[in-house]
Homo-oligomer: A and B are copies of this chain.
Amino acid sequence: MTVDKTHPRYESLLFRDKIVKAGEQGLLAPSALISHGRGEAFDYLIGEKTTFPAKRAMYVAIASMIIAENPVISVNGNTTALVIDEIIKLAEELDAKIEINLFYRTPERIEKLAKLYEEHGYPNVLGTDDDDLEYINNLNSPRASASKEGIYTSDVVLVPLEDGDRAEILAETGKKIITIDLNPLSRTSKKSDISIVDNIVRAIPLMIEIAKDLKEENNLKLIQDIINDFNNEDNLQESLQEFKIKEEE
Interface residues of A (CB under 8 A from B): 1, 16, 19-20, 23-24, 30-31, 33-42, 45, 104, 164, 183-187, 190, 240, 243, 245-248
Contacts and interface: CB of A to CB of B under 8 A. Distances in A.
Q: Which of A19, A33, A184 has the most CB of B within 10 A?
A: A33
Contacts of A246: 185
A205 to B, nearest CB: 22
Contacts of A33: 23, 30-31, 33-34, 37
Given A35-B37, A36-B37, A41-B41, A185 B247 contact: yes
How many copies of this kind of chain does the complex include? 2
25 contacts: A1-B31, A1-B104, A19-B34, A20-B30, A20-B31, A20-B34, A24-B30, A30-B33, A31-B33, A33-B34, A34-B34, A35-B37, A36-B37, A37-B40, A37-B41, A38-B38, A38-B41, A39-B41, A40-B41, A41-B183, A164-B248, A185-B248, A186-B248, A187-B248, A190-B248
Nearest to A17: B31
Contacts of A40: 34, 37-38, 41
A117 B1 CA distance: 27
Q: Which of A20, A36, A38, A41 has the most CB of B within 10 A?
A: A41
A247 to B, nearest CB: 6
Contacts of A19: 34
